[in-house]
Amino acid sequence: MAGGTAEGRRVFVSTLPAGPGERRLALAVVLVSVAIFLSAVPFAKVPLGQVWAFIPIYQSALVVNDLITAVLLFGQFGFLRSRALLVLAGGYLFTAFMAVSHILTFPGLFAPTGLLGAGPQSTAWLFMFWHGGFPLCVIAYALLKNDTREIDGPAGRAGVAISSSIAVIVAVVCGLTLLATAGQHALPAIMRGNQYTAVMLSVVSTTWVLSLLALVVLWRRRPHAVLDLWLMVVMCAWVFDIALAAVLNAGRFDLGFYAGRIYGLLAASFVLMVLLLENGKLYARLVQSTAEAEAANRAKSDFLSRMSHELRTPLNGIIGFSQLLELDSLTPEQRESVEHIQKGGRHLLTLINEVLDIARIEAGAISISLEPLPVTDVVGSALDLVRPLARGRRITLVDAVAGDDHVMADRQRLQQVLLNLLSNAVKYNRDDGRVEVSCTKAGSGSIRLAIRDTGRGIAPGMLERLYTPFERLGADRSGVEGTGLGLALSRRLVEAMHGTLHVESTVGEGTTFAVELPPAVGHSAVVAGTNGVPPSAATPKTFGTLLYIEDNPANLRLVERIVSYRPGLTLLSAVQGRRGLELARDHQPRAIVLDLHLPDLDGTEVLARLRGDPSTRDIPVVIVSADATPGQVTRLLAQGADAYLTKPLDVSEFLALLDRLFNRTATPCATTT
């Protein structure tokens, strides 16, 4: 992706518009520079001592400054992909490399005539090439900065552009160095000893004009970014540098010679300081954004927990009491009414679960446990669950999965995805149709699970809307039940397992959904646990006292009705945590059912006190809560809960758990739902 987001582009000094504060500061710097320049002009030709250490110290600092500036600008180019930034970064790299050539050829510094085969004209010509080349790069930058074309492509393309730019700069610097050394006889003489010749005036005037031209072009190319503003300050400093060091002075080692180079060092520092300040601000913003994102994730997790509780709590009563009604003797009309209640409640529960799952994925709060899974096992389990639905539509289910392929996936989440895709393949199929599940190896080496139906198919123009939440593509008018969230959730779950979900469809022939997952090469299969058969409504030999700590009257009444199907159980109830602790100590119940949201104490505090009291430490505690977040379940089990059930309660499952608790030996129970 080229260029990043539009909002992200605005944080860089190369794109951020210059404000009044930056303009005033830049103007102040220029005015101070002008004042110093004017005060130095009358003394420019005053000879000073030959301080040989000045040259290496000054130019080493210059090289380091320019290299760091070039690296920072190349970094911005990598994000923004702006041709103008690439040229400007190359200009700073050019000045750094030319400064190296200049110092190596300086006469009398490392050798009487300089290194690299330099002669008496080499250093002066390198200075002219150096101070003429950078303004040309600035002019090119100014002309390109409003060009909206970018260097598109993946991140590697930016690296190629940077590498190519560096190679070109190195080639140019080597060529100019070779011209100023080996080819110096082809150039007119501009130095005689440490003094300038008459030709020097015309050569240096050209260089000076280029700096002025760069300043004018920058000024005219509006609007000005912060970087443009400081580049204009730099070009002013370059004008003063050339004027003092090569126009108004008499030669080397006079006041103009030293003062001009100081201006050059300042020129190299302005943009660097702005870029370093920008990096500091960006880092501070990154830290702040990270803290805000973490706070937002915590708030989102708290919101999910609260919404899970608030939505599931009323459903607990609706679905729970309807399940109890099913256990009673009902007339056909009454049983049909109960089935409608159950159907509506289950539909709403499915919707709530899918919305919360999508929100958890977006918040990064969903728990994914990848393990090697045998494809035949997972597909077989999913097909078994959907067979009753297929039987009602006379749809043939074909299991074409063979072999011993294994995938790396989360068993529960993969089962959820396959069940959703198979249910859709049955619901949106034609009567007497066919659904086939196959397993093949994809070209990328992944395992491809394909579910093909013989339904009406999906028009090509509608495929792009297929994964949009609550988008049912008109199926809501066909009478087929659904929430419009299943496919959106399935794709996100598959991606969370490092896989992909694809769809192919032909109108009138059918649709194929394909799940591609990484293979589990060299791993043993994990054998699935078998689902227990729900117990009958009246399982005998269940005796003892059950304590239920809950403040919701409807939930209390529901559990009272459920426990009535176990005549050997005595139910004690408490609507406050402190009262529940008292009853637990006084009556020593065989098990405790605990809600987390209590009026006086939080359920986690009640659990901690139960586990901290020697008289109640060994009593099994079952958490029953509408908060179904995986982190909450894991945390409560780690704190000593024996089981965690989520509302709405499954009556058969709850009765089965009570039977195990009241008929077990001392072996601890760690059942979770």
pLDDT at 8: 46
Cα dist. 253→48, 49, 641 in Å? 6, 6, 85
Q: Tell me the average pLDDT of the chain.
A: 79
Highest mean pLDDT among 169-178, 250-259, 439-448: 169-178
Q: Are the beta carbons of 236 and 211 closer than 8 angstroms? A: no
Q: What is the pLDDT of residues 404-452, one digit of tens each?
A: 888 888 887 888 888 888 888 888 888 889 999 998 888 777 889 999 9
In this prediction, residues 133-153 reach a mean pLDDT of 79
Q: How far apart are alpha carbons 397 and 387 in whole angstroms?
A: 8
Share of the chain above pLDDT 90, in %: 12
Q: How far apart are alpha carbons 305 and 626 in whole angstroms?
A: 8
In this prediction, residues 632-661 reach a mean pLDDT of 85
Q: What is the pLDDT of residues 68-78, one digit of tens each?
A: 989 988 988 88
Handedness of CA 248, 252, 258, 261 (dihedral sign): positive
The residue among 346 and 84 whose pLDDT is bigger is 84
Is the per-residue pLDDT at 174 higher than 90? yes
Q: How far apart are alpha carbons 282 and 272 in whole angstroms?
A: 15
pLDDT at 477: 47
- The b-or-e profile of 352-368 (16+ CB within 10 A means b, else e) is bbbbbbbbbbebebbee
Q: pTM, whole model, 2 decimals?
A: 0.50
Cα dist. 439→86, 111, 526, 529, 547 in Å? 49, 76, 19, 23, 50
Q: Are the beta carbons of 544 and 569 closer than 8 angstroms? A: yes
**What does the block give as tokens for 552?**
């919701």
Q: Which of 531, 530, 451, 440 is nearest to 490 (CA)?
A: 451
Lowest mean pLDDT among 338-347, 388-397, 552-561, 662-671: 662-671
* Residues whose CB is less than 8 angstroms from the CB of residue 252 and which lie 6 or more positions away in sequence, other chains included: 194
Give the pLDDT band (50/70/90) at residue 150.
low
pLDDT at 455: 87
pLDDT at 116: 84
Residues linked to residue 397 through DSSP beta bridges, in sequence order = 435
Q: What is the pLDDT of residues 343-356, one digit of tens each?
A: 677 667 766 666 66
Helical packing angle, 122-144 and 155-181, nearest 10°: 150
pLDDT at 11: 63
Is the per-residue pLDDT at 1 higher than 50? no
Highest mean pLDDT among 143-152, 324-333, 531-540: 324-333
pLDDT at 539: 46
Lowest mean pLDDT among 167-176, 279-288, 495-504, 617-626: 279-288
pLDDT at 552: 81
Is the per-residue pLDDT at 361 higher than 70? no
The residue among 530 and 633 whose pLDDT is bigger is 633
Q: What is the pLDDT of residues 521-545, one digit of tens each?
A: 654 434 333 333 344 444 446 678 8
pLDDT at 608: 92
Give the pLDDT band (50/70/90) at residue 167.
very high
pLDDT at 529: 37
In this prediction, residues 57-78 reach a mean pLDDT of 87
pLDDT at 406: 87
Give the pLDDT band (50/70/90) at residue 605.
very high
Q: Token pair 């994000």 is at which residue? A: 79
Lowest mean pLDDT among 296-310, 458-472, 606-620: 296-310
Long-range contacts of 149-153 (CB under 8 A, 24+ apart): 149/83, 150/2, 150/3, 150/80, 150/81, 150/82, 150/83, 151/2, 151/81, 151/83, 151/86, 152/2, 152/81, 153/2
Is the per-residue pLDDT at 481 higher than 80? no
Share of the chain above pLDDT 70, in %: 82
Q: What is the pLDDT of residues 290-314, one digit of tens each?
A: 777 777 666 766 666 666 666 667 7
pLDDT at 172: 94
pLDDT at 10: 55
In this prediction, residues 198-221 reach a mean pLDDT of 86
Q: Token pair 């299943």 is at which residue? A: 486
